[in-house]
A = this chain, B = another copy of it.
Amino acid sequence: MKLAKINLAEIFSKLPSDDYCVRVIAMMNNYEIKIVKRKGESIWHKHSDTDETFIILEGKMQMNLRDKVIELNPGEMIVVPKGVEHKPASKEGYKAILIEPSGVPNTGDVVDNKITIKQAEWI
């Protein structure tokens, strides 16, 4: 990986217009730093082996948990602990940075959903 800065707005502008896009933008040790653009609902899932960090850059995300909903706005972040069921959703759409170890499927323990991505592509 080239030692260079990454401009987040610039790299988001390269994404296709799809409602759901996730791309790897950098590695930190064995962790992937990804950008995600999302409009709509994910599915309930959990990651049994890892925590997952979301840093919201634009829009709003509703992080559904089994006992509450946490609404995240730009400049807010959350670490979803391993084993905790969650369902990110957004009517208006959001852009976020996502950090987790390399090779974690986006739908966690639900491996055969139509939105499952086992390994995100690089941008």
Q: Return the contact of A28 from the options B7, B8, B51, B76 (Cβ within 8 A).
A: B51
Q: Does A120 contact B (CB under 8 A)?
A: no
Q: Is the CB of A5 within 8 A of B70?
A: yes
In angstroms, Cα B52 to Cα A33, docked, is 12
In angstroms, Cα B76 to Cα A4, docked, is 10
The interface centre, meaning the residue of A8, A29, A82 with most chain B CB atoms within 10 A of its CB, is A29
Q: Return the contact of A78 from the options B6, B84, B99 (Cβ within 8 A).
A: B6
Q: Does A26 contact B (CB under 8 A)?
A: yes
Measured between beta carbons, the chain B residues less than 8 angstroms from A80 are 3
Q: Which residues of A contact B (CB under 8 A)?
A: 1, 3-9, 26-29, 31, 33, 50-53, 55, 57, 63, 65, 70, 72, 75-82, 84, 97, 99-101
Instruction: List 17 A-B residue pairs with CB atoms under 8 Å apart, sorted by A's residue number.
Output: A1-B81, A4-B78, A5-B72, A6-B78, A7-B76, A8-B76, A26-B53, A26-B77, A27-B79, A28-B51, A28-B52, A28-B79, A29-B50, A29-B82, A33-B53, A57-B75, A99-B99
Known: A8-B76, A28-B52. 12 other contacts (CB 8 A): A3-B80, A3-B81, A4-B70, A4-B78, A5-B78, A6-B76, A6-B78, A9-B75, A26-B77, A29-B51, A33-B77, A57-B75
